[in-house]
Amino acid sequence: KYYPWMHITNILCFYFPQMSANDCQDPPEYWTIHGLWPDKGEDCNRTWHFNVTEIKDLLSDMRHYWPDVLHSSLNRTQFWKHEWDKHGTCAATLQILNSQKKYFGKALELYQHIDLNSCLLKAGIKPSSSYYQMTVIKEVLTKFYGVTPKIQCLPPEEGEKAQTIGQIEFCFTKEMQLRNCTALKGESDPVQADLKLGTEELSVCSDTLPTYYPSQVQ
């Protein structure tokens, strides 16, 4: 079976206080797209090079909903290039994703359909200095979407008690219908290979630890 899935993640600079201020470029304070990832996580077609002109009609939405906050180049296309090279060329085995415009366009469409920002806000879950219970966040998302997403956190720093919410993953069938996110036993966490930031890595959140949803860049 071939199941593409989509990662929607909040701005990474919230969650990596080890990074200097110069590492974070104009961070938005809302959930943004990390990527649309198929279940195959490697460069599938290294000859199919990223060409930003193919998505010129999408650039306004890309900059807003899929920003690159780690590169200071004017066009900030490095993040999109990475996602296309590693994941897009694999996802393109599906007809509905078999071009750069289809791949990035479908990710934007799914992101706006899910509307994670509004979902959490309607449930009263918003960035705060107080802590949330992970079970409450899970219940809200599962009730709203009818499926169980995968929520990933940074573990507590030394001397701290709370984990920090970092990424929420929604999973889809190859027909782009929402499904439960279930990791196979022994399956490696794709985010560990994709994020090389700070000294900590995101992992599936604990149900028992208090959860911090930061209100500002640290």
**Amino acid letter, residue 172:** F
Identify the band that residue 197 occupies on the pLDDT scale cut at 50, 70 and 90.
very low
- Convert the pLDDT of each residue in 89-144 to its tens digit: 999 989 999 999 999 999 999 999 999 999 999 999 988 888 999 999 999 999 99
- Convert the pLDDT of each residue in 16-48 to its tens digit: 444 444 455 566 778 889 899 988 666 688 899
What's the pLDDT at 185?
Answer: 44
Q: Would 78 be classed as within a structural domain?
A: yes
Is residue 149 predicted with pLDDT exceeding 60?
A: yes
Q: Would 172 be classed as within a structural domain?
A: yes
Concerning whether 113 is annotated as a catalytic residue, the answer is no
Would residue 212 be called left, alpha or beta, if left means φ above 0 and alpha means ψ between -120 and 50 degrees?
beta
Catalytic residue of the set 7, 83, 169, 200: 83
Catalytic residue of the set 7, 34, 169, 200: 34
| Other Cβ atoms within 10 Å of 96 Cβ, number | 15
User: How many domains, the chain?
Assistant: 1
Catalytic residue of the set 29, 49, 71, 87: 87
Q: Would 48 be classed as within a structural domain?
A: yes
Q: Would 218 be classed as within a structural domain?
A: no
Q: Would 53 be classed as within a structural domain?
A: yes
What's the pLDDT at 206?
Answer: 95
Q: What is the CATH number of the domain that holds 201?
A: 3.90.730.10
Q: Would 1 be classed as within a structural domain?
A: no
Tell me which residue range forms the domain holding 99.
Answer: 6-213
Concerning whether 83 is annotated as a catalytic residue, the answer is yes
Q: What is the dihedral of CA 62, 92, 79, 190, to 10 degrees?
A: 120
- What are the CA-CA distances from residue 96 to residues 43, 93, 103 (Å)? 19, 9, 8
Tokens of 112: 């706006």
